[in-house]
Each structure stands twice: as structure tokens, then as C-alpha cells.
Chain A
Amino acid sequence: MTAPLLTMQHIVKSFYGVKVLDDVSIDLFAGETLALLGENGAGKSTLIKILNGDYRRDGGEILIDGQPVNIDAPRDAENLGIRMIYQELHYAPELSVAENLLLGALPRRGGALNWLIDWQQMNRQAHEALALLNVDIAPTTKMRDLSVVEREIIEIVKALSRQARIIVMDEPTAALTPPEVQRLFGIIRGLQARGVGIIYISHRLDEVFEIAGRITVLRDGKHVGTNPRAEVTHQSLVQMMVGRSIEDRAEVRAQSEAITPGAVALEVRGLSKAGAFNTIDLQVRAGEIVGLFGLLGAGHTLLTQAIFGAIKSDSGTILVDGTPARIASPQDGQRAGIGFVPLDRKVNGLVLDMSVRKNITLSNWRVLTRFGAFQRGLEMQHSRNWVDQLGIRMAGGIETHTRYLSGGNQQKVVLARWLEANVRVLLLNEPTWGVDVGARSDIYDQLEALAAQGLAILMVSSDIEEVLSVSHRILTIYKGRLTGEFSQSDATQEKLLHAAAGGQS
């Protein structure tokens, strides 16, 4: 057997005396996809940054084709054919695909005109690069006109066209819909066929099972194990990651079964917005979690925004606890007793450079102030209460800025804010995007507990497993219209996908 393409042996790394990587070894073969799993803080990104030369390792060695190499700076990694595809892509949106692909090395004309760009040559080179992976995107398209997955693919093509031998992808599917994920996987298989080794980081286990040949799990900076896909199960992987076993939620639910929803807390009648959704009727009862499932752009996100007042609807009525509410702004929504957890919590959900305490009390303060001034003690008491109740974990205490919290804890801060504001109805958008497995299950527990206390929850999600395991009732939406309603017991993946794709149930 030939030497592995890449070997990282006994890698050790500490920051300020804290070991973040403790004797971690991985290897990667040409034409293979190796999945790297672990909760946030497990050491995945540190390992990758060492490979890319962003950090220097304290101990251990890196070999390429069996030869020890020195990677002290990103430039070294680049010379060795190592490429990173980050979650947040950097590209010039107003330039064409071809220009972005060849940026920094644009072909010039010959002769006296060599200061001019040779556009024909550039487009031809770009076309060739795209053809290597059978990508069907015109080189002259502007980057901003591409979808997220297409931009990622361009990034991959760019890496390949610059002699990449090892490509590291960090959560490449975080913002992709299921069909887009499949398109990306097609590209990855193309890379494998060309002998490129791929390190694939993801939180989504089903994807990992689909694309990875072997799976490495890290926990608390230690290497827990590397196994061929065939030798692990969903559950065993989760157990390896979190170090304890997490029961299958759906099974637990099936056993308990005893939810008895109360009165209708949120009712929407004939809500319409041109180009977004059309005559939507729905009800959510107190104590009930209703899942709203649809493909990207089906209108579910806009629907929740309209119910909350973040965007204006054209017609329709909204009733909270049976009383019609005039909702034209988020303040109206909040006053009516509705809380809203937006899609992108980092941009829209939290004030990142504000402390956990202040974020929690942002929406409700009347009870915390006397004569207009904050009662600091009371505020502290309330926010601590939510931190304890929801299990929000942060290293620097309650004054830590939310920027420094993990995804799951950030999401809990957003939840805590609405609970502090004493809402009756909670609208959630993709509550576990970018949240790791352990924290995900934690958030589900919290949602169930909140529902049990009588909160009405409407949850928008494009993660079908999430919808199936958390919701008491599921609605599907397609092109702005509700296309199906399922109780938890009769919903299946097939039925939901069928309804969400426009098929009548």
C-alpha cells in the first residue's frame, strides 16, 4: 500500500497552558473523503488551522506522501497543495465567475498590449477548469447571480485549478437545501475521482454517512476514534462525540405521547403577501409545537416574519389568545405576546457585542425598572434565572459578550429574551442551524419543556429530521401555500418531502 497523501501524527497544541489538541493523529488517502466530527471546542478547527499554517503546532509532525514537511505559514500550505473552503466565502460579487476563478493570475494579451486582459483566453481557461468537474456554469456569469452552492462549487473549482491535492471543507452544507447538497456531493465525488483527498467537517450526520469513507471523531482535544463508515452507526457516533448516550427523541416521544394541547394561542386567518404567501390559515395551541416544513424559498420564513410584524402583509388577520391583534411592526408583535427567533441569529437575533445579561433583558424591561431606571439587582436575578433554567453556558460569566458563545448557547440567549418578555407564542426559524449535536438535543429538550409550560411554538425548519422528531403537528408549505397537515404519528420523510415539493397529500 502506498503512503497516505497526508499524515498528521501526535499533534499537540496549547494556548496559554491549556491543551486544545492532545496527541491527535489522522491520515488521509488520495481519492478519499475523511469526515471530521466533534462538538464545538473539540479541536477540529485548531487541527485544521495547524494544517493550513495559521497556527504552529507545539508537537507532532505532518507528512505529505510520507515525507515530513514544514508548515509554518498559510503560504507553505498553499505550496503543498492544501486548500481551505470556509463556511463564509470570500469573493468579488460584481466580477464574473471567470474573473473570480483566475483572480491574481488573469491572462494578458501578447505583444505591446500585454497590459490588457485577454478576455477570450480568460473565459476559455475558466471554461476548462469548470469542465474538469462537469460544472455547468457560464464563466461570464456574475458571482452575485449565483446561488450559495454554486459559489461554493466555484471555490472548489478554483482550488482544483490551482493544483489542490488536499481540500478541507468546513461545514459546506450549512446554508444549502437538500437538492443543493446532492449537487455538492456530485462535485466532491468528482474530486475523489481525480485523486484529491478531502477533509469534510460537518454537524450533519446523515451527510457524513453519505459522503465520507472514514469518520474521525474528536472530543475535548483528543482523538476518540477513526472508523470506516460501515462500522459506525448514527447513535454510536453521537455517543463518541458527546461522551454519553442520547436517546432517540422520536422513540421517547412515542412513549410519552401524553401531550394535551390547550386553547388556541395563535390563529392566522387568510394571511397573504404578494409574491411570498397566499391565504394562510393556521392555528397553534398552547403547549403545542407545530413544525412548518418547506424547501428554501417556499415562503415559511416570510410567513413568520409577517406574523411577528417584521414585514408587512397585504391582508389577513392574526389572533392571539382569541383576540385580534393589529400587527404592523415588531413592537406590535411583541406587545401582542409573540416572540420571534430569526433565521440568522448572529446578524438578526443578537447584539453580539453586548453581554448575555443585556441581551436577555433587551425586549422586556418594564418589570426591571423603577422610575425609569434599571434595578440592576433585579435585572441580574432575572437573567441569571434564565441562564440557569435554559442551561446557557459561557466561560466568562453573564457579562460575556454573546459573540463569544457557541451557536447553541447563542440560540438559548435569544429564547431567554422572549421568555423574559413573557410571550405566549414563539416563532422559531431554523432553531438549530450551525448548532452542534449535543447542544441541539439540549435545545429540543428546552422547547419541549417550554411547550409543556403552555407556550405555543411554531417552528420553521428545513431539517426534516428535526421537524419529524420535535413537532407535535407538522404543516408543509410550497410556493407560499400550505400543502399538508400531518400529526406526528403519521408523518414520514417521504410524505413531508412529497407535500413540500408541491404534491397534494
Chain B
Amino acid sequence: MFRKLLSIIVVVSLVAGMLLPLTAFAQDNATCATAQDSYTIGFANLTEDIVFTQLVRDGILSAAEEAGNVEVVLADNRLDGATALANADNFIAQGVDGVIEFQTDEAFGNVIMSRFRREGIPVIAIDIPMPGATFFGADNYNAGRLAGEALAAWVNENWDGDVDALLVLELPQSGPIPAARMQGQIEGLQDNLTVPVAEDMIFLLDSKNTQEESFQVVSDILPTIPDAEHIVAVTINDGTALGVIAAAEAAGRADQIMVVGQGADPSGQEAMLAENSRYLGATGYFAENYGSYLIPAMLDLLECRPVPPAIYVDHVFINKDNLCEYYGESWPDACPVS
């Protein structure tokens, strides 16, 4: 009995001892080392050349404005590890309080992180994990799954669940992230089709991440499946998806194909809206919303509030039916006349 009581006391006091400082930190800013009235946050973008990252940047800037007490310092990593490192040093020199890193080179991740760690600067890494940084980004497998499931639903409804061939426009040279997207799409499709596609009718094609290459390989593969009347394609991004559709159109087989993709960027959105479109839709990554996750998360870090080690974007499969809801401003035509 005594032993039991003793152990309860020990446990309770241990738990209290652990919780006490935590609550104290959370409640009292004065004891949080990094807490201030206003903050300077560095954002090193992946590149300034592509729409996706431009949207990320704009989202961060407007979220910072909304927060009111955050100033953002911008840098461009130019898809290059060495540039990212130089930018990191620059941030440190400018005395930033926290950093949002969007950089591609995992090898440089360690070096960059060791600099920030030495200075005690908290870091959030976008899409490509860095050791010791809070991860923020796409949930690639599940994003892929959403598209695969949507495609399967369409096939079940329109083609009685019958698919003759599955084209997979992948990007093998870019490692695990695109691979997870593709795996999600394939499994989402296969798990939900009435009759899964036979293994030997799944064509793995290298899109090389360009619309032309995707056009080319699909053009090359179509003559080998002359009898296929129901062809579906899952793709790494909107551009590759459009290449697939262009190839099918050029070969006069547009009505035999249905395509889903990843990204739902403006060019993809436009394609979904086209009359009799063969682009069913794409999983949205909402680059423009990244800022509204990133800035509050960074403020939590700086003000010593608990933050989970990984934060994921809430993905939605965008098609012509919900385009108005998410991107109504860009596509007034997509909205029902009220």
C-alpha cells in the first residue's frame, strides 16, 4: 500500500516537474529567449523562375503583412546548394530571428542547418527536409492518392470501371518525392477501380519534367496500344499532364484518354475548364496558402509555443466543379451563375 502511494507521488511530481516549466514558458514571454515584439524572418526561395515558388513567396509576404509584426527578408537559392549556403550566411549576418528555407540540395542541408543551430535561429524547411528543422510541405503520397481515387471514380462511372492501359508520367531522376506522388496516384487508382489495370498494361514513362518530353514519349507509346480504347494517365505535374493530352489529340485519340495530375497551377486549371476537357483535375498544393501556415508556425517557434515536427498542407483534388470554390477570382466562368 505504502509502495503504491509512494510510486503515485513520484509519478505525479515528475509529471508536474516536467509540465511546470513548459507552462511557465508558454505563459510568460519574458522567459522565452527568442521572443520579441517584432521579428525579422529570412525566406530563401527555391528559385524565382517558376510560378509555384512565386506563389509561395507572395503567400509568405501577405501572411507576414497580416501578422503585423513580421518583416521578411528575401533571397533566391537558384536551385543551387552553394547559393543556398551563401544566402544562409547572409541571413545570419543580417541578424534574422528565424529562417524559412526552400532549397533543393540535401547535401547542403546539414551544413546550412549547423550554421543556424550555432546561432540559435529556428528554421522551417519547405518540401525538402533538413535535419533539425521543422518540416513543412506537401503530403505527397496522400496528394497522389486523392488524384488516383478521383480518376478511379470517373472511370467507374463513365467507362464501367474498364481501363485498357495506364500511362505513368514519372520523374525517376528526382528521387523520393515525385516517386511518392506517383505511387499515391497508382495505388489510389488501382485500389478503387472495379477491375485493376493489368500489370503489363502499366507503362512507366520518363517525363523529364517537361511538356515536350511527355508529348514525345506518349506519342511513341500510343502506336503500341492501338486497340486500347480506355487509356488513363497519372502525371507528375500539370505540364506533363498537358503533354499527354496534346499527344493524344495529335494522334486523334483524345476521346480515349483521361488524365489527372498534381499541382493545379493556372495552366492546369485552364485546361480543366476547356470544353470536353480530357484533364479530369489535379491535386491542389496551394502554394499561395503556404504563407498562412508558415508565418504563424514560425511565430510559434520564436515565441516558444509547441510546434509539431512536421506540418502538412491540406490537399484537395481540384476539378472543374470545385474550381470556383478555390480559385473563383481567376475563373469567374467556372462559377455557377447566381
Are any A and B Cβ atoms less than 8 Å apart in their complex? no
Residues on B facing A (Cβ under 8 Å): none
Interface residues of A (CB under 8 A from B): none
